[in-house]
A and B are shown apart, each in its own frame.
Chain A
Amino acid sequence: MKHLTEEELIAYRDGETTQREAIAEHLTSCTACRTELDRIEAVLSALDSLPVPERGPEYGRGVWQQIAPRLPEKAGRGWRVWFEPRRWVVIGAMAAIVLGAFVAGRWSKPKDPGSPAASVAQVRERVLVVAVGEHLGKSEMVLMELANATPPAPGQKQINISAEQRRAEDLLDANRLYRETAKQDGDAALASVLDDLERVLMDVAHSPQEVTPAELETIRQRIEAHGILFKVRVVGKELQEREKTTNSAPAATESKARERNKA
Chain B
Amino acid sequence: MQDREAVQTAARESDALAVERTLAGERDAFRGLVERHSQQLFRLAYRMTGNEHDAEEVVQEAFLRAYRNLGQFGSRANFGTWAYRIAANYAIDRMRQKRTEDARRQTPSALAEEQEQDPLDLVPDERPTPDRLAGNTELRKKMEEALKELSSSERTAFVMRHWEGCAIEEIAAVLKSTTSAAKNTVFRSVQKLRRALEPYVGARGALQAKAAGAAPEPRGTQL
Contacts and interface: CB of A to CB of B under 8 A. Distances in A.
The judgment on whether A and B are partners is yes
Interface string A47-86: 1111111010001110110111011111111111100000
A2 B220 CA distance: 7
Contacts of A76: 67-72
Could you say which interface size class chain A belongs to? 35 or more
Nearest to B206: A35
B138 to A, nearest CB: 12
Contacts of B223: 1-3, 26, 29-30
A81 B134 CA distance: 52
A50 B209 contact: no
Contacts, number: 207
A217 interface: no
A146 B37 CA distance: 42
Most buried by A among B22, B35, B37, B97: B35
B198 to A, nearest CB: 6
A193 to B, nearest CB: 18
Contact of A36 (B71, B208, B214, B219): B219
Contacts of B176: 199, 202, 206
B208 to A, nearest CB: 7
Interface string A164-199: 000001001110110000000000000000000001
Interface string B159-190: 00111000010000001111011111111101
A75 B26 CA distance: 9
Interface class of chain A by DSSP: helix
Contact of A47 (B30, B100, B162, B186): B162
Contact of B64 (A6, A47, A55, A70): A70
A63 B45 CA distance: 14
Contact of B218 (A32, A42, A79): A32
A32 B67 contact: no
A123 B169 CA distance: 46
Given A10-B190, A205-B153, A35 B68 contact: no
A160 interface: no
Interface string B139-164: 11001100100010100000001110
Contacts of B3: none
20 contacts: A2-B220, A2-B222, A31-B216, A33-B219, A40-B190, A43-B194, A44-B162, A46-B139, A52-B47, A53-B52, A63-B63, A66-B60, A71-B27, A72-B67, A74-B25, A75-B22, A78-B71, A81-B71, A169-B153, A173-B96
